A and B are shown apart, each in its own frame.
Chain A
């Protein structure tokens, strides 16, 4: 019995189509909610060469939607654990795990080895990085993104079609703030959206059907509503990336999204013992926070002032809105300084809460 007999039985695929799948090279970035179903279907379908990029480790709260993993995988790297599971699913294909973060430095050489790039990431900064690296290396990107009960799917940079920047070009500052979605998500939603992404990948390889290029598919899991919106190509935005490609590899990422457990409220922070509060705002920023002992280290100077941090204590960061403090935590995580937390509230909310507590005393 042939593993792929149900594929081969389709006149649109046949043995010739199955051979195309076997010869295809697909790089999936992110082995999380979207990445798991994408990888599962690509491996099962017999895509011959699959790369998996993910720096993150599996946590208990991932299992609600990241269906390649089980309890025994908690603490393991996602790319490596996904590879182990997929190799069991299909031992006739070649799978490469890249247990690292995608960066401006490694993306171009990585993309060159693959035909199709699949975006299953969870933050804007990496999504723009993937888009730009794909434009430079001239690779199509199968894009998927989710928010609570809704999803978006599209194919960018396919046969000189529109790119992600033609659809959404948000301000540079917001781009770098990451916008990690540590909000809730219905577990099955990434399953649906990721499966749609896998479907686009297979159609592109097999050269069948219509590809979602120049179109954004919107799906709402609560009411079955789906819409397709036409996207126009912006030559200006694409040319800007191409014109700046010589500087691409010198750019750096400012954000990491592994913050599920590092965000806390000021109330929770005050309950902890053995803590150091760090204000990462510029020293001129208002309001000043009183009633607690604070170390002031503006975010830009953080790496130069590591000696000011008492790493025997829990390090609790705050700033004006909660964004820079999140970045501080991710910078320190990369420097292997854990035990860091970011306060969710804005500085004025923190001030208000501390004043209330002080009056109560």
Chain B
């Protein structure tokens, strides 16, 4: 399936884009992240949460929608 992925903050700096489409053939979020780490090895040690269709999901969640977002925490004030 085709996933639309959105990146924020430091994550978007690593991927050098704010959104892209990725072809994904497996089933859950952690499998999707493995695929993403192959493309962007520098993402692997970064902190972020994953949202699917505008809702935070855990790594074992099944991919059901076609939109994922990677959200890093921001500290600045």
Q: Known contacts A147-B9, A230-B55, A230-B56: does B74 contact A216 (CB below 8 Å)?
A: no
Residue in chain B with minimal CB distance to A34:
B77
Assign chain B's interface to a size class: 10 to 19
User: Whole-angstrom distance between the alpha carbons of A223 and B19 in the complex?
Assistant: 13
Residues B71 and A216 in contact, CB atoms below 8 Å apart: yes
Q: Which residues of B contact A152 (CB under 8 A)?
A: 73-74
Q: Which residues of A contact B47 (CB under 8 A)?
A: 168, 170-171, 174
Q: Which residues of A contact B71 (CB under 8 A)?
A: 216, 218, 229
User: Whole-angstrom distance between the alpha carbons of A223 and B69 in the complex?
Assistant: 17
Give the interface centre of A144, A218, A225, A231 by most chain B CB atoms within 10 Å. A218
Q: In this assembly, does A32 line the interface, its C-beta being within 8 Å of a C-beta of chain B?
A: yes
Residues B77 and A168 in contact, CB atoms below 8 Å apart: no
User: Whole-angstrom distance between the alpha carbons of A228 and B69 in the complex?
Assistant: 11
Q: In this assembly, does B49 line the interface, its C-beta being within 8 Å of a C-beta of chain A?
A: yes
Residues A122 and B54 in contact, CB atoms below 8 Å apart: no
Residues A147 and B77 in contact, CB atoms below 8 Å apart: no
Residues A218 and B77 in contact, CB atoms below 8 Å apart: no
Q: Which residues of B contact A147 (CB under 8 A)?
A: 9-10, 72, 74-76
Residues B77 and A144 in contact, CB atoms below 8 Å apart: yes
User: Whole-angstrom distance between the alpha carbons of A185 and B8 in the complex?
Assistant: 15
Q: How far is the CB of B40 from chain A (nearest CB, A)?
A: 18
Within 8 A of B (CB), among A134-166: 144-148, 150-152
User: Whole-angstrom distance between the alpha carbons of A123 and B73 in the complex?
Assistant: 11
Residues B8 and A145 in contact, CB atoms below 8 Å apart: no
Q: What would 7 more interface pairs be, CB under 8 Å, given A33-B76, A216-B71, A229-B69?
A: A121-B77, A122-B77, A145-B73, A146-B76, A174-B47, A179-B75, A229-B55
Q: How far is the CB of A34 from chain B (nearest CB, A)?
A: 4
Q: Which residues of B contact A33 (CB under 8 A)?
A: 76-77
Q: In this assembly, does A323 line the interface, its C-beta being within 8 Å of a C-beta of chain B?
A: no
In order of increasing CB-CB distance, the 9 nearest A-B pairs are A181-B76, A145-B74, A122-B77, A147-B74, A230-B55, A168-B73, A34-B77, A146-B76, A147-B9
Q: In this assembly, does A120 line the interface, its C-beta being within 8 Å of a C-beta of chain B?
A: yes
Q: Known contacts A147-B10, A227-B54, A228-B54: does B73 contact A32 (CB below 8 Å)?
A: no
Q: In this assembly, does A180 line the interface, its C-beta being within 8 Å of a C-beta of chain B?
A: yes
Residue in chain B with minimal CB distance to A119:
B77
Q: Which residues of A contact B18 (CB under 8 A)?
A: 220, 223, 225
Q: How far is the CB of B74 from chain A (nearest CB, A)?
A: 4
Residues A123 and B69 in contact, CB atoms below 8 Å apart: no
Q: How far is the CB of A53 from chain B (nearest CB, A)?
A: 13
Q: In this assembly, does A124 line the interface, its C-beta being within 8 Å of a C-beta of chain B?
A: yes
Q: How far is the CB of B29 from chain A (nearest CB, A)?
A: 15
